[in-house]
Amino acid sequence: MIETATKPNISVSEPGSVWRENLRTFRIASWLGWQVESNWADPFVFFIFTILRPMASALIVVVMYNVIAGGNKGNYFSYLFISNAFFVLVTQTMAGLAWTIFDDRENYKMLKYIYTSPARKFAYLIGRAVGKVGIGLFTVIILLLTGILFLGLHIDWARVEWGWLLAYFVTGMLGLGGLGIILAGVALVIARHGASIGEVTAGMLLLFCGALFPPDVLPAGLKQVSLALPPTYWLEGMRRAVNGGIMTNISTVNGQTVTAPISPFLAQFSDWQLLGIVTGSGILCAIGSFLFYRWVENQAKERGMIDRLTGY
Partner 1 sequence: MSVEVREQMTSTDNPMGRPVVAANNPLIAERDSHDTRPLAIKTINVSRVYKIRGQKNKNGETTKTLTALGGVDLEVYQGELFGLLGPNGAGKTTLIKILTTLLAPSGGLCYVDGLDVVKQADEARRRINMVSGGETSGYGILTVRENLWMFSQFYGVSNKDAQERITKMLKIVELEDKANARVSGLSTGQRQRMNFCRGFITDPRVVFLDEPTLGLDVNAARIVRNFTRDWMSEDPSRTVLLTTHYMAEADELCDRIAIIDHGAVLACDTPANLKRLLQKQPVFEINAGGLNDRSLDAMAHSPGVVRMTSEAAEGGSAYNLKFILEDEAAIGGVVSTLAAHNGNIISLQKNEPTLEDVFIKLVGRSLSQNEE
Instruction: Please give the Cα distance from 275 to 40 (Å, whole number).
Output: 36
Half-sphere exposure of 260 (CA within 13 A, CB side): 12
User: Nearer Cβ to partner 1, position 11 or 252?
Assistant: 11
**Which of residues 160, 191, 207, 306 is near partner 1 by CB under 8 A?**
306
Q: Is 129 in the site for partner 1 (CB under 8 A)?
A: no
3-state secondary structure of 246: coil
Are the beta carbons of 184 and 97 closer than 8 angstroms?
A: yes
Q: Is 306 exposed, middle or buried (0-12, 13-18, 19+ CB in 10 A)?
A: middle
User: Nearer Cβ to partner 1, position 270 or 298?
Assistant: 298
**Which of residues 45, 63, 72, 117 is near partner 1 by CB under 8 A?**
117
Q: Is 130 in the site for partner 1 (CB under 8 A)?
A: no
Segment near partner 1 (CB under 8 A); pick from 20-28, 133-141, 205-213, 261-269: 20-28
- Interface positions, 54-113, toward partner 1 (CB under 8 A): 108-110, 112-113
**Which of residues 19, 56, 64, 118 is near partner 1 by CB under 8 A?**
118
Nearest to 64 by CA among 277, 242, 212, 276: 212
Instruction: Please give the Cα distance from 62 to 82 (Å, whole number).
Output: 11
Instruction: Please give the Cα distance from 182 to 94 (Å, whole number).
Output: 9
Q: Is 192 in the site for partner 1 (CB under 8 A)?
A: no
Instruction: Please give the Cα distance from 48 to 56 (Å, whole number).
Output: 10
- Distance of closest approach, residue 188 Cβ to partner 1, in angstroms: 12
User: Nearer Cβ to partner 1, position 8 or 70?
Assistant: 8
Q: Is 188 in the site for partner 1 (CB under 8 A)?
A: no
Q: Is 45 in the site for partner 1 (CB under 8 A)?
A: no
- Distance of closest approach, residue 305 Cβ to partner 1, in angstroms: 9
| CA dihedral over 258, 263, 265, 269, signed as positive or negative | negative
Q: Quote the Cα angle for 165-178-229, to 5°.
A: 70
Instruction: Please give the Cα distance from 274 to 271 (Å, whole number).
Output: 5
**Which of residues 88, 98, 101, 119 is near partner 1 by CB under 8 A?**
119
- Distance of closest approach, residue 289 Cβ to partner 1, in angstroms: 19
- Distance of closest approach, residue 50 Cβ to partner 1, in angstroms: 15
Q: Is 193 in the site for partner 1 (CB under 8 A)?
A: no
Q: Is 294 in the site for partner 1 (CB under 8 A)?
A: no
**Which of residues 26, 32, 130, 177 is near partner 1 by CB under 8 A?**
32
User: Nearer Cβ to partner 1, position 25 or 84?
Assistant: 25
Q: Is 189 in the site for partner 1 (CB under 8 A)?
A: no
| CA dihedral over 275, 241, 224, 284, signed as positive or negative | negative
Biggest distance spanned by C-alpha atoms of the chain: 90
- Kindly state the number of chain residues that form the binding site for partner 1, as judged by CB under 8 A: 41
- Per-position b or e across 193-213, b if 16+ CB within 10 A of its CB: ebbebbeebbeebbebbbbbb
**Beta strand pairing call for 256-261 and 248-253:** antiparallel
3-state secondary structure of 3: coil
Segment near partner 1 (CB under 8 A); pick from 27-35, 47-55, 165-173, 219-227: 27-35
Cβ–Cβ contacts within 10 Å for residue 265, how many? 16
User: Nearer Cβ to partner 1, position 104 or 236?
Assistant: 104
Judged by the rule CB under 8 A, the positions of this chain that interact with partner 1 are: 1-6, 8-12, 18, 20-21, 24-25, 27-28, 31-32, 35-36, 39, 41, 108-110, 112-119, 298, 301-302, 304, 306-307
